[in-house]
Structure 1
Amino acid sequence: MESFFFRDYVKVLLRRWLMIVILIVLAVSATGCFSFYILKPKYQASVTLLVEIPQVNNQIGYDQLRANQILLRTYEEIIRSRNITEDVIKKLDLQMTSEEFLKKITVASPADSLITSIQVTDEDPQKAIRIADEIAHSFSSNLGSIMNVRNVSILNQAQLDSEKPVSPKPYLNMTIAFILSLCAGCAIALFFEMFDTTIKEQAQIDAVLKLPVLGVIPEIKSKKMKNARQKERSFLMEERGRQNETSESACQVNMPS
């Protein structure tokens, strides 16, 4: 029974394949045009900060290490604070609010690490580098007045993660559009089939009407129909020609000599 239903689904999709293909082509083309020509490319720059741990007798205590790892979470919030963001906006003369600025930056600290990474995304790659650098310098210089500690240093200066834009990703977007449009096309085809009450096959007559089939008219393709009409026209013209020849012969026989 399951294979029967599967065959039915395949028949439905094959019967409406043109609609599915058109939907896929439109979706992939629109996504490609939007990704390549409308969305502006964005670049990402990163800067790395290191939390320094004071040593006691040339050793680092485990409790001290764990405390600094927990402290990194506090540092992440300080980097996102209005104090730091407004300081960077003012120094770089950026025409944006703190909320807009925060949408450009990402702060992350890997687990079991004393390193904090600050990533900045912007349409201008050089601007992204300047913002990342300024965030790192503003945080390290203001941390002493905020928490009365100075245990953060810049491990790596800001630089682009890649020469290529990090977004948009046209080919990934087009692949996603292809998959979604394929699924949508199949779903729409099955939806139309559910509400299609026309009878297309002999088996449907047996199942729905419970009536015996006395005869089946085969489907004639347009090309075959055209060829059949041409042959019929040629036959009629030849038959008419023969009739005319017969009539002329009869007239000649009946004419007095």
Structure 2
Amino acid sequence: MELRDYVRILRQRWILIAVTVLLALAAASALTLTTTAQYQSTARLFVSTSESNTTDAYQGGLFSQQRITSYASLITGEEMARRVAEELDSDISPRALADQITATVEPETVVLEISVTDASADRARELTQTTAEVFTEYVTELETPPGQTTAPVKASITDRASAPGSPVSPQPVRNLGLALVLGLLLGVGIAVLRETLDTRIKSPRDLQEATGDAPALGHISYDKRTPKQPLLSSLDSHSPRAEAFRVLRTNVQFLNVDSAGRVFVVTSALPGEGKSTTACNLALALADGGFSVLLVEADLRRPKATGYFGLEPNVGVTTVLLGKVGFEDAVQEVSPRCALMASGPTPPNPSELLQSEAMHRLLTEARQRYDYVLVDVPPLLPVTDAAVLAAQADGALLVVRHNKTTSDQVEAAVDRLESVGAKLLGSITNMSPTSKRASGYGYGYGYGYAPDASTVVAEPTQGTSRGRRGGRRAAGSGGSTGRRAGGAGAPSEDPFGGPHRRHQPGEPERTAQAERPIAPDETAIEDALTVDPDGRNRPRRGR
């Protein structure tokens, strides 16, 4: 991980870190409040020898320094504790009392410190003083040679036991400070561990690694209105989500540029990632860009596209594959340049139908009739339908839901495509956050670029095409007649000037920019103004 990765983790998971710190502080506070206060009293002893001349005194000092370490060990022994308990006539056990006594030697000296800790300040002082007095007698007893009455070494009390004024434990400031440091370390550690174990796709780098460097074609930002308004036709043309699909349209145009008719499968790893809404809106965006588009609803298990457009679902792919209706009769018009072939009745064997020769002929005919054919198929991992159709198409567009789809799932979906020889053309991130801070690096657009409301000219009420359901609605045998989108021999009328037809051999290649329809507000502005030969604008008086 790089430094920016750690910074991103801290910004994303600061709540987890804060909760961990608060829990650590709460635990330290509870421990501090429930711990019994302990008081400590200290007495000091001086160990010396009884030599008189200087030389003997020096040697005696060295002897005392060697002895004093042994004395410190004796003070904390059970024998000393037993003698102190007998002196005080206390029923405390020697082992328990020994645990309360500590002895330390001041470095390079013959000074010995005795400390006793107890829950009572007065008792701590009494125990300390008694221990010091008993020990001086104990040293004399130990150091007196047999047959003599005086010992060459003696221990003298220099500082009597002190009266403790405040408890030595617990220490609230120290405990809370340690809890704060440990809570921060623990919180950051948990955050980094969770980030390491979390394999959900949250950044472009995660997606690139999971797809094997497949190009990222677009990032569709999250819009809470999507469940009620899934199609672009119900959104403002300058909304961030609409702009994201325009960017996706531009990137899709550079896929398989040498192919006359391009067939792309739109799929995902698992259900609930937004593949159907992405396919529908990409079809509308390509149609708005001047291309003829057919959306084939090949998700025969859970079809959704027909419901989004509000068209007839009973005639479509399955009825064409079974030979009950022809290709043209199953096509329903969404807009003058966009058509839909519904899924039709749900068959008992979707996979067998989709890999049949009839399906191959259907895609071949659709390729000849339309600039783009988008095939909405089931997810890759639960069933094999998507992989079967992807092998027959030019490739697959994989929709990945931000912060939900895992890298393992994406890798498994890519492997499923590669196993049948299908090509992953690119990925589309759906429901990405609108701000960079939300994902560390950010996807999509978190801003809009709509025109100033004061400069917008009212749109004309006629001539708009998006969202109209004109033409034929296939309704089984003997269905109603009408105009078909993209049908051979019956080109649809372009509401922005002349009939629309596909590119023919020998003609200059069309581009989306060349055939981009004039937006209603641009038409109104063109009607309102004209240009004099001298370059000045003047109102147009008539058309």
- Of 46, 49, 53, which aligns to 1:50? 46
Match of residue 156 from structure 1: 159
Match of residue 84 from structure 2: 88
Is 1:12 equivalent to 2:9 in the alignment?
yes
Whole-Å separation in 2 of the counterparts to 1:87 and 1:94: 10
Whole-Å separation in 1 of the counterparts to 2:54 and 2:16: 73
Instruction: Give the deviation of 1:215 after TM superposition.
Output: 2.2
Instruction: Give the deviation of 1:63 after TM superposition.
Output: 1.5
Whole-Å separation in 1 of the counterparts to 2:188 and 2:73: 47
Instruction: Give the deviation of 1:55 after TM superposition.
Output: 4.1
Whole-Å separation in 2 of the counterparts to 1:74 and 1:92: 25
Q: How does 1:234-249 map to 2 (within 5 A)?
A: none
- Of 100, 115, 128, which aligns to 1:132? 128
Whole-Å separation in 1 of the counterparts to 2:223 and 2:120: 63
Whole-Å separation in 1 of the counterparts to 2:78 and 2:219: 80
Whole-Å separation in 2 of the counterparts to 1:76 and 1:137: 14
Q: Deviations 1:96-123 (Å, cap 9, x if unpaired)?
A: 3222111111111212212111011111
Q: Note if contact 1:31-1:173 (Cα within 8 Å) is conserved in structure 2.
A: yes
Q: Give secondary structure in 2 for the equivalent of 1:86.
A: helix
Whole-Å separation in 2 of the counterparts to 1:207 and 1:25: 37
Aligned-pair identity in percent equals 26
Q: Deviations 1:102-150 (Å, cap 9, x if unpaired)?
A: 1111111212212111011111111010001101111122333332126
Instruction: Give the deviation of 1:60 after TM superposition.
Output: 5.5
Asked which structure has the greater CA Rg, the reply is 2
Match of residue 67 from structure 1: 63
> Alignment RMSD, CA only?
2.3
Is 1:208 equivalent to 2:214 in the alignment?
no
Q: How does 1:138-149 map to 2 (within 5 A)?
A: 138-148=134-144, 149=151
Match of residue 110 from structure 1: 106
Aligned partner of 1:151: which letter?
Answer: K
Whole-Å separation in 1 of the counterparts to 2:196 and 2:177: 29
Q: Note if contact 1:51-1:115 (Cα within 8 Å) is conserved in structure 2.
A: yes
**More helix per residue:** 1
Match of residue 198 from structure 2: 196
Q: Give secondary structure in 1 for the equivalent of 2:162.
A: strand
Flag the 1:215–1:97 CA change in 2: closer, same or farther, 3 A: same
Is 1:33 equivalent to 2:26 in the alignment?
no
Flag the 1:41–1:201 CA change in 2: closer, same or farther, 3 A: same
Comparing 80-89 and 176-185, the one that deviates more? 80-89
Q: Note if contact 1:41-1:166 (Cα within 8 Å) is conserved in structure 2.
A: yes
Q: Give secondary structure in 1 for the equivalent of 2:170.
A: coil
Flag the 1:165–1:221 CA change in 2: closer, same or farther, 3 A: farther
Q: Note if contact 2:78-2:98 (Cα within 8 Å) is conserved in structure 1.
A: no
Q: Which runs of 5+ in 1 are unaligned?
A: 223-231, 233-257
Whole-Å separation in 2 of the counterparts to 1:221 and 1:153: 84
Q: Give secondary structure in 2 for the equivalent of 1:168.
A: coil
Whole-Å separation in 2 of the counterparts to 1:197 and 1:109: 57
Flag the 1:155–1:57 CA change in 2: closer, same or farther, 3 A: same
TM-score normalized with structure 1 length? 0.77
Q: Note if contact 1:42-1:165 (Cα within 8 Å) is conserved in structure 2.
A: yes
Q: Note if contact 1:54-1:60 (Cα within 8 Å) is conserved in structure 2.
A: no
Whole-Å separation in 2 of the counterparts to 1:196 and 1:187: 14
Aligned partner of 1:127: which letter?
Answer: R
Q: Note if contact 1:108-1:118 (Cα within 8 Å) is conserved in structure 2.
A: yes
TM-score normalized with structure 2 length? 0.38
Whole-Å separation in 2 of the counterparts to 1:27 and 1:34: 11
Q: Give secondary structure in 2 for the equivalent of 1:197.
A: coil
Q: Note if contact 1:43-1:124 (Cα within 8 Å) is conserved in structure 2.
A: yes
Q: Note if contact 1:140-1:152 (Cα within 8 Å) is conserved in structure 2.
A: yes
Flag the 1:221–1:88 CA change in 2: closer, same or farther, 3 A: farther
Is 1:168 equivalent to 2:170 in the alignment?
yes
Whole-Å separation in 2 of the counterparts to 1:43 and 1:169: 12
Whole-Å separation in 2 of the counterparts to 1:67 and 1:6: 59
Whole-Å separation in 2 of the counterparts to 1:90 and 1:6: 65
Which structure has more relative contact order (CA 8 Å, sep 6+)? It is 1
